[in-house]
Homo-oligomer: A and B are copies of this chain.
Amino acid sequence: MGMPFELNTMIVTKGREKRVEENLFQLEKEGYRLYPIDIPIDVRKTIESDTSGTAVIKKVEWQNSSTSITYQLISLNSTN
């Protein structure tokens, strides 16, 4: 009767994010994941990679064993 969750403290895109408009992106992840919403968190391409920027999650949706987040990129790390 328990419900499995994963606590996530950063956004790991794996390059699968979709641009909704300008700085707004949508990302779908497997399983039910708890993200902090409305506060700045790190965005990374993979778990091992460096921070690629900072974002604020504006919307979280749980349905059919997957989690969809909509986030606004508020700063970008240009490291080249």
Cβ-defined contact, A36 with B7, below 8 A: yes
- From 14 to 70 in chain A, residues with beta carbon under 8 angstroms from any chain B beta carbon are 32-34, 36-39, 41, 47, 58-63, 65
The residue on B at minimum CB distance from A69 is B62
A8 at the interface (CB under 8 A from B): yes
| Minimal beta-carbon separation of A28 from chain B (angstroms) | 14
- Contacts A/B (CB < 8 Å), 21 sampled: A1-B8, A1-B9, A2-B6, A3-B6, A3-B7, A3-B38, A3-B39, A4-B5, A4-B6, A5-B5, A5-B6, A7-B7, A7-B36, A9-B36, A9-B41, A32-B37, A38-B65, A59-B62, A59-B63, A60-B61, A60-B63
